[in-house]
Amino acid sequence: MMDIHRILKQLPHRYPFLLVDRVLELNKGKNIKALKNVTINEPFFEGHFPNRPVMPGVLMIEALAQAAALLAFDALDATPNDQMIYYFAGIDAARFKRPVEPGDQLVLEAELVRMKAGIFKFKARALVDGELAVEAELTCAMRNIK
């Protein structure tokens, strides 16, 4: 549905902070299903943890937010530019259910619950092999910057 080249046009993030590799499904204004391939050469694994590499929970949440941003931009038929930024405004009910390790494929799912005045509310979750890894309610804000 959306390859890395289109993702790079839609998100301002770049390596090592771009955490969405591919969009598998995108239903305009409704939901998105995306993929993050977790590899051993991710820079955070060097220190988290050297003897048992585990993807940090905050980065799993960030990956969900990036997928949600792709959904939001598509819902508005918008492309980010130098005058617009997409911020986190809140994270609620975050729960981490299983560790994510090198070799895992993190399937990112976000559902748009509400969109009003540049504020977006999502229900999001990430799975590995069909097993829930993390879930959260995300609030994001799209703002023009001067």
Q: Which of 22, 48, 98, 123 is catalytic?
A: 48
Residue 48: active-site member: yes
Backbone torsions φ then ψ of 144, nearest 5 degrees = -85, 140
The CB-based long-range contact list for 123-126 (8 Å cut-off, 24+ gap) reads 124/64, 124/65, 124/67, 124/68, 125/64, 126/36, 126/60, 126/63, 126/64, 126/100
Identity at 82, one-letter amino acid code? D
Catalytically annotated residues: 48
